[in-house]
Chain A
């Protein structure tokens, strides 16, 4: 019989998670997000983190232009047990299109990571890849680079979990073009605090 090395955590469904909010176990200000059934405590908001979030939001708003909107640190729905709140994401349409339900398929998701680089590359990348988010960026404040993750790939011989097949690391001097806004390049330096 297979041996469990450590206790197995209960995985919360989105329905259970929403009950937690309805019953006031969690409120909107709690730094918690549901990712793959885990109630993850979010990375603390340092000043560089907050600054990077604002810079990224501004840059992608400009790059995408009309017909898109940018939301920061707000929930999106990926699947039955993931309702993360990415630092920045770009969604088609206008905010009123999502009065009744959170967006589910942003064209671009960006996480700013300082202490949470491993989490951003690991569990988060897996959850976004599984949801087929085509373009996932990590603004890595530790190394001051942008990590661009593309081509969601299912688990197989090359990877144990869902992940991205094409990962590129860009320095401050490089330029990145969002997949869904191919006409507009963004200088990585613009995204770094």
Chain B
């Protein structure tokens, strides 16, 4: 049988406005961890103990590094663009919690994903999405290799899933220290982030 033109099954996309209405209407089962990524509804894998611990440790360390005037959010929604509302594991945004009581923050100065089973997705899809939104500082706390991957300098790349990628990437092991772009006076030992 000859090969034929075929199309990958396309699914219905949702805008962020639609997604927020779905949430207001309680359409989803409670407790299901859903994110809107480029118009598609994605589900997060259940968290391991190490994953959860890493989030807590990273949040604590970043709170100390950034100090007052910054809000460190864990797995909270970010109103990233017209068709994306991800819940990064940790995000640092300016201000205080009440600043976001009507609208989710949209531009974290630092975005962190803790990666265990999601490493490939965090490197490939999420990084392209965050680069497209111009997020300046993206970290992947890689629990598989016990390193911190730091990404910066968003640049167009037509071959990336969302047309952008980070031009700069660095890898720090547990013995290194790292400085968030938006907290230049700080220095965080990577060991403080790892579970």
**A residues at B contact (CB < 8 Å):** 1-11, 13, 16, 19-20, 23, 25-26, 30, 32, 38-41, 115-119, 123, 142-143, 169
Contact = CB atoms under 8 A, between A and B. Distances in A.
A26 B42 CA distance: 19
Contact of B9 (A26, A30, A119): A119
B61 interface: no
Contacts of A115: 5-7
Interface of B: 1-2, 4-7, 9-12, 14, 18, 21-22, 25, 27-29, 32, 34, 37, 40-43, 45, 48, 116-121, 125, 144
- B contacts with A: majority SS: loop
- A contacts with B: majority SS: loop
Contact of A26 (B12, B125, B144): B12
Contacts of A2: 117
Contacts of B11: 9, 38-41
Nearest to A124: B9
A6 B42 CA distance: 10
Nearest to B38: A7
A25 B118 CA distance: 30
B34 A116 contact: no
A73 B2 CA distance: 28
Given A7-B121, A8-B42, A9-B43, A143 B4 contact: yes
A143 B2 contact: yes
Contacts of A10: 28, 32, 34, 41-43
Contacts of B29: 13, 16
Contacts of A26: 12
30 contacts: A1-B116, A1-B117, A2-B117, A3-B117, A3-B119, A3-B120, A4-B120, A6-B120, A7-B42, A8-B42, A8-B45, A9-B42, A10-B32, A10-B43, A16-B28, A23-B25, A25-B21, A30-B12, A38-B9, A38-B11, A39-B11, A40-B11, A41-B12, A115-B7, A116-B7, A117-B6, A119-B6, A123-B9, A142-B2, A143-B1
